[in-house]
A and B are shown apart, each in its own frame.
Chain A
Amino acid sequence: MNDTPPNSFRNMPDDRGHFGEFGGRYVAETLMPLILDLEKQYRAAQADPAFEEEFNDLLQNYVGRPSPLYYAESLTEEVRKDAPEGKGAQIWFKRDELNHTGAHKINNCVGQILLAMRMGKTRIIAETGAGQHGVATATVCARFGLPCTIFMGATDVARQKPNLFRMKLLGAEVVPVTSGAATLKDAMNEALRDWVANVHDTFYIIGTAAGPHPYPELVRDFQSVIGKEARAQMLDRTGRLPDMLVAAIGGGSNAIGLFHPFLDDPDVKMLGIEAAGHGLDKEHAASLAGGGPGILHGNKTYLLQDEDGQITEAHSISAGLDYPGIGPEHSWLKESGRVDYDSATDTEALDAFQLLCRTEGIIPALEPSHAIAAVVREAVKMDRDQIILANLCGRGDKDIFTVAEALGTEI
């Protein structure tokens, strides 16, 4: 990122891993030497054309990139039915749900396992919420022959059975975590405990753009392939940039991957969508809307917490968004005003999920269903010649049982 001008939104973090007041390296001393070594090795990999070449080759031939940029004409028409005269923007999707393993998570896992092998690590650990990151990690571990252990909250194990079975088929050991609410936050605690006890041989593939520096930066860089492709594809197809980008946010890796390459395009608005769960006045997972700055899992960022700094439980129908924090770069982008953040409830996401199924023949994951809910909300307010582009970051096969239960249907 050193080629960007000093007033760019793209030259964060600083050399200590800070995004303004956010980010940093808040880890136990045992992990510090390893984190510093990871940063050194990442800088070396960035400067090595062979690393980029191998990364790009795997993305193209193993993951199936570039993912298509798709004009959702039918959804656009549906939205225009309820729009005022002349309103109803064109809705486009970046189809990262078509990636191998069914979500954007694989982009990051390919990058991190190449780093792990560069560092001579022989064992991989990861946390997972919805199971998408766990599946993607198990996938690259199978591909490169490294043993892997996935920590998954026991609550998520119960609601994401298809992904649990996938991980096992791929040869991963899945450890159900029963502490706390037994969801993503607790899985991350347990992964950190494993890591601190196995620092010498183990690489921790963090699934979102959070954690101690350099994770937020390197996850963002690996996921930025989404935005780089989308930007080039949009220019190629329409000769212009989109007017607005929309992406769902749990930790925020798909959103930062889409947003980052556009941050210095001043006419492109950006909207990150947090999970409002049962509503922002009830249980939710919207740390920007309902939380405040604090320190957890290696970084300073917005967190759901009480006045004593105890972390409060998040809730979302989407296991992938069920996390009480957010990547530190999003906290900084919010405070800088460059990106707007809003939220969608469980119910709104369920409605959007069904709408996309019916209008486009695409079954989205519950995570991007939150973004789709916001797209519908925003598109009706925008002019017909404007373009709104959302990241369809995962497919919904894994969620059909959750959705069936929410709709009161038996499968």
Chain B
Amino acid sequence: MTDRLSSSFPADRAALVTFVTAGDPTPADTGAILDALVEGGADIIELGMPFTDPMADGPSIQEADIRSLAAGTTTANIFNMAREFRQRHPDTPLVLMGYANPMTIRGSEWFANACVDAGVDAVICVDIPVEEDESLGDALRAKDVAVIRLATPTTDAERLPQILSNASGFLYYVSVAGITGQQQAAQASIEEAVARLKAGTDLPVAVGFGVRTPEQAADIARVADGVVVGSAIVEIVGEYGKDAAPHVRDYVKSLSDAIRVARHG
């Protein structure tokens, strides 16, 4: 499964990684929005599992989680969305992203099996650091589901090797010490951090947090293996609701176009 993920980072340009919250505004709408991400040129899809208490998220994703849960989204719905996506898009990697409690409530093995069954390639758990990896990571790796680790501006050289141990898929560099959807980091600090991380790992390094415009995406695409965009897409879903898909597609296409020419400019 991780092959699908590793082959989605092209050699000649950065990958575009896009995030949406599952079930926002309702479970019935997510399929069309996921299709719009792919049509717009996304290389990797992160599907957010809504949680009542998203401690690491800013207002945009908090509101998306509230909309989704208010519409009755369940974990079973989310795995159905993933399974149907996999049938429509056999080659596009799908990453589930969310918080520990919904992922572990039925046991880590149950969750790992559900991921395999639905064709999920990787998992990002925001609040399971490497110190608590056994709560989820062992079960996922045993089923060949990648465990994607986060590195942040507070991750120092001493800690980095720990984070990289048992990491797979790609390394997600959270470029800002803060919550999602707020300010973007300075380009110079991103370049420095990516260089530091790439010195420690052969995994592709994707950079996210606060990326909104095609210009910002292109800047990151010049130095990193992937660009992650989340809150800006979630805000389009928030604005257009059930009619969001074409708007999402157009926005993602603007990012994708910018990334495709970034290294030639």
Contacts and interface: CB of A to CB of B under 8 A. Distances in A.
Most chain A CB atoms below 10 A, which of B129, B163, B177: B129
Contacts of A180: 52-53
Contacts of B155: 29, 32-33
Interface stretch (A161-169, A307-315, A382-390): A307-315
Contacts of B58: 193
B156 A296 contact: no
Contacts of B149: 29
Interface stretch (A20-28, A144-152, A333-341, A354-362): A20-28
A297 B52 CA distance: 12
Interface in B141-178: 149-156, 159, 163, 174, 177-178
Interface string A176-189: 00011000011001
Given A197-B178, A311-B52, A30 B127 contact: no
Given A199-B154, A310-B51, A305 B101 contact: yes
A310 B106 CA distance: 12
B132 A25 contact: yes
B100 interface: yes
A192 B55 contact: yes
Interface string B40-71: 00000000000111111110001000100100
A308 B68 CA distance: 14
B127 A27 contact: yes
A295 interface: yes
Given A26-B128, A30-B154, A308-B75, A295 B55 contact: no
Given A29-B174, A32-B159, A33-B155, A295 B53 contact: no
A310 B154 contact: no
Interface size class of A (residues with CB under 8 A): 35 or more
B132 to A, nearest CB: 5
B156 A30 contact: no
B7 interface: no
Nearest to B128: A26
Interface string A292-307: 0011111010010101
Interface string B180-202: 00100000000000000000000
A33 B75 contact: no
B126 interface: yes
Nearest to A34: B154
A196 interface: yes
Given A33-B155, A309-B101, A26 B127 contact: yes
B236 interface: no
Contact of A26 (B57, B66, B132): B132
B151 to A, nearest CB: 7
A68 to B, nearest CB: 40
Nearest to B77: A308
A25 B102 contact: no
B1 interface: no
Contact of A308 (B53, B55, B105, B178): B105
A303 B36 CA distance: 37
Interface of A: 16, 24-34, 179-180, 185-186, 189, 192-193, 196-197, 199-200, 294-298, 300, 303, 305, 307-311
Interface of B: 51-58, 62, 66, 69, 74-75, 99-105, 126-132, 135, 149-156, 159, 163, 174, 177-179, 182
